[in-house]
Amino acid sequence: MTTPTVVALSGGVGGAKLASGLMRVLPHGTLRVIVNTGDDFMHLGLHISPDVDTTLYTLAGLANPETGWGRRDETWSFMEAMELLGGDTWFRLGDRDLALHVERTRRLAAGETPSQITADVAHRFGITADILPMTDDTVRTMVRTDEGELSFQDYFVRRRCRPRVASLRFDGAADARPAPRARDALRDRNLSAIVICPSNPYLSIDPILSVDGICDLLHESAAPVVAVSPLVGGRAVKGPTAKIMAELGLPVSAQEVARHYDGVLDGFVVDARPSAAACELDLPLLVTDTLMETLPDRDRLARETLEFAATLRKRRAA
Cβ distance to its own copies smaller for residue 50 or 207 = 50
The total number of residues written for the chain in this structure: 318
Q: Which helix (H) or strand (E) holds 176?
A: none
What is the C-alpha to C-alpha distance for residues 26 and 105, in angstroms, rounded to an integer? Answer: 32
Phi-psi domain of 148 (left: phi exceeds 0; alpha: psi -120 through 50; beta: other): left
Using CA atoms, how far residue 103 sits from 71, 106, 145, 311, in Å, is 16, 5, 34, 43
Amino acid of residue 212: D
**Contact in structure between 10 and 57 (CB atoms under 8 Å):** no
Give least dist CB 21 to its own copies, A. 24
Cβ distance to its own copies smaller for residue 87 or 296 = 87
Give least dist CB 120 to its own copies, A. 8
Give least dist CB 196 to its own copies, A. 30
Cβ distance to its own copies smaller for residue 44 or 285 = 44
Give least dist CB 58 to its own copies, A. 16
Give least dist CB 101 to its own copies, A. 9
Cβ distance to its own copies smaller for residue 105 or 288 = 105
**Contact in structure between 69 and 49 (CB atoms under 8 Å):** no
**Contact in structure between 136 and 115 (CB atoms under 8 Å):** yes
Q: Which helix (H) or strand (E) holds 118?
A: helix 114-124
Cβ distance to its own copies smaller for residue 44 or 161 = 44
Cβ distance to its own copies smaller for residue 96 or 243 = 96
Residues lying near its own copies in the complex (CB under 8 A) are found at: 44-46, 71, 74-75, 77-82, 84-87, 94-100, 102-103, 105-106, 109, 120-121, 124-125
Give least dist CB 63 to its own copies, A. 14
Cβ distance to its own copies smaller for residue 123 or 162 = 123
What is the C-alpha to C-alpha distance for residues 231 and 17, in angstroms, rounded to an integer? Answer: 15
Using CA atoms, how far residue 4 sits from 188, 257, 304, in Å, is 9, 28, 17
**Contact in structure between 54 and 47 (CB atoms under 8 Å):** no
**Would you call 1 exposed, middle or buried from its count of C-beta atoms within 10 A (0-12, 13-18, 19+)?**
exposed
What is the C-alpha to C-alpha distance for residues 240 and 221, in angstroms, rounded to an integer? Answer: 31
65 DSSP 8-state letter = T
Give least dist CB 112 to its own copies, A. 12
